[in-house]
Amino acid sequence: MKALLLTEYKTMEVTDVAEPEVGADDVLVQVQACGICGSDIHGYDGSTGRRIPPLVMGHEAAGVVVSTGDNVTDLQPGDRVTFDSMVSCGRCDFCREGNGNLCDNRMVLGVSCGEYRRHGAFAERISVPRRIVYRIPDTLAFEHAALVEAVSVAVHAVNVTPIKLGDTAVVVGAGMIGLLTLQAARAAGATQIIAVDLNDKRLGVAKELGADHILRGDQCDVAQAVRDLTDGKGANVALEVVGATPTIVTAIESVRKGGHVTLVGNVSPKIELPLQSVVTREISLQGTCGCNGEYPQCIDLMARGVINVEPLITAKISLADSPEWFKRLYEGDPEQMKVVVCPQT
């Protein structure tokens, strides 16, 4: 079958690879759509250490069931499905406690980090365990369903954030996940959403998707602007979706005393923390990783239009065009937000 293979860093080739093996508990899926994630772009040059060639990347996908293993009886060929990006073991203490996203033995589709190699969905077909596969309704387009994985990251982040009806939420970073996070925060009850970014186009999309106020982080004192919008108090919660010192400081300084900051982004492995501000104002900091069983919730939110991903998709491309698009995205294209590969076209 054809697949997009990272043969060496900064080199992608569409080539023939072996058909995936389908175990007794697995499902073979014909991939109809697979989104290019920022982590794939970072892995393209080897900077993350988690995309060691040769590797088929891609973990945001949806498609059609081709066949199933002997133990799978509740899915049939032709069923429309999506699947989680993470394969947890189901046996460790974290899995048994219901925290599969913290699994000691987890593997991520499209990742090769030295400890394991798990080929992903930039391919015509992929085999995945039945336990991470979810049906999608006929009304949900494949290119939209491919983004359930990204939506689940945002929804999980909001689920671990103590948002109450009527709260003000600041979302720092209006990239793909940030734009999904602001929609999830609205769905969770926040009635005033303030989006912060450095890109006017992204802020325009944030406004389109429900942000009440948009702030250019390089053109104003964000914390003061947030206080001006909240009777001098600051926001109840902030969700930081970049992962760098300046944006984390912005999130912390934007919340009120006793406020809560959820850290979603992780671009930088280490940051400087304004410790006194956190300690003296009793700010709660919460990390969040991936998702933990939110797929059905996300599929429902998307199917009902509560979370809208269509404005985030800026291009739909073929497998053959993917190598050039990876170069384009790696070099930096501010006009692109989510590019979806369609391996069957």
pLDDT at residue number 267: 83
Q: pLDDT by residue (tens digit) across 144-174? A: 999 999 999 999 999 999 999 999 999 999 9
Q: How confident is the model at residue 113 (pLDDT cuts 50, 70, 90)?
A: very high
pLDDT averaged over the chain?
96
Q: How confident is the model at residue 269 (pLDDT cuts 50, 70, 90)?
A: confident
Both tokens of 148, joined, read: 């359930």
Q: Is pLDDT of 246 > 90?
A: yes
Measure Cα distances from 48 to 44, 84, 309, 335 in Å.
Answer: 9, 21, 27, 24
In this prediction, residues 43-50 reach a mean pLDDT of 89
Percent of the chain scoring above 70 in pLDDT: 100
CA torsion sign, 223 to 227 to 229 to 235? positive
Q: Is pLDDT of 232 > 90?
A: yes
Q: Is pLDDT of 250 > 90?
A: yes
Interacting residues of 103 by C-beta distance below 8 A, sequence separation 6+:
86, 88, 89, 92, 94, 95
In this prediction, residues 200-218 reach a mean pLDDT of 96
The terminus-to-terminus CA distance of the chain in angstroms comes to 14
Give the domains, in start order, of the chain with CATH numbers.
2-147+309-342 (3.90.180.10), 154-287 (3.40.50.720)
Cα 5 from Cα 266, distance rounded (Å): 26
Both tokens of 262, joined, read: 């959820």
